[in-house]
Amino acid sequence: MPGTEPAVLHYRLLRWYAAHRRDLPWRAPDRSPWGVLVSEVMLQQTPVARVEPVWRRWMQLWPTASALAQAAPGEAVREWGRLGYPRRALRLHAAATAIHDEHDGQVPVDEVMLRTLPGVGDYTAAAVTAFAFGRRATVVDTNVRRVHARAVSGIALPSPSLTRAELDLAGRLLPADDAEAATWSVAVMELGALVCTARAPRCADCPVADLCAWRRAGSPAYDGPVRRGQAWAGTDRQCRGTLLQVLRDADAPVHGARLRASWPLDPAAPDQEAAHLQRDRCLDALVAEGLVEPLPEDLFRLPGTG
């Protein structure tokens, strides 16, 4: 797309977004900055369809950061359900506590101040700045990186890790106006999620297809490092999830024997010794990470819960 004026891209994509944007609750006019922060943490590595019902439940239980701060951290883990990467629940609880204690219960408006909250990195701080407060910020997620890689850089997929060059490109493409910049950022994300997808891009539906450097180059195949999907069955991730689910489903501390009986899933599977070692290792890790709290008499619970 060399030579294409950013204003042309802005016009095309913003017009497309106005017609095709999804009606998501964290984009509603009455959404709160806290609701936006929760959504951004939940959406990391997790599809919208899985996030939306959990987000709605959280907003019912804890409509403000102060409400979550006053709950036990284990309740956040419980209501996280099966979104995956449950440490995010603890980080949100820690961020809520900091917002309650240090910011009078209000999510900070300043991007630099947002980055001081526990678990809030550069991306989340920029996203909240843009989407909660309508301010100009460079928001770069996986979808944005893919759209920029194809449309501007002419390659099928970005590198596995975010580069300085990608951040600089995103900054150059960002409109100068605060409100337009915020809408542009979410519009690029939406294009990557709905049209410029990783495996099957729908180029016929793309508002900038005729300007796309990747298409002009003949849509060359990705030739970077091999990308492997994450396994699930039999992994530590599945084992950890199984152990946590036992605790989520309980309304009182759980005896270690009951936890140990939950893994392996198939008691008749071969190599039971390895499965038992895996289970014990995963339980120890959950305790070390603060996701599970050990009690006397071989009892376990979600942290701080009854």
By residue count, the chain amounts to 306
- Give the span between the Cα atoms of 231 and 225, in whole angstroms: 18
Is 223 in contact with 262 (CB distance < 8 Å)? Answer: no
Q: How far is CA 67 from the centre of its chain?
A: 22
40 is annotated as an active-site residue: yes
CB atoms near residue 155 (< 10 Å): 19
Catalytic residue among 5, 40, 79, 289: 40
Instruction: Give rounded-to-5 percent helix, strand, coil for the chain.
Output: 55, 5, 40
SS3 letters for 74-113? Answer: HHHHHHHCCCCCCHHHHHHHHHHHHHHHHCCCCCCCCHHH
Catalytic residues: 40
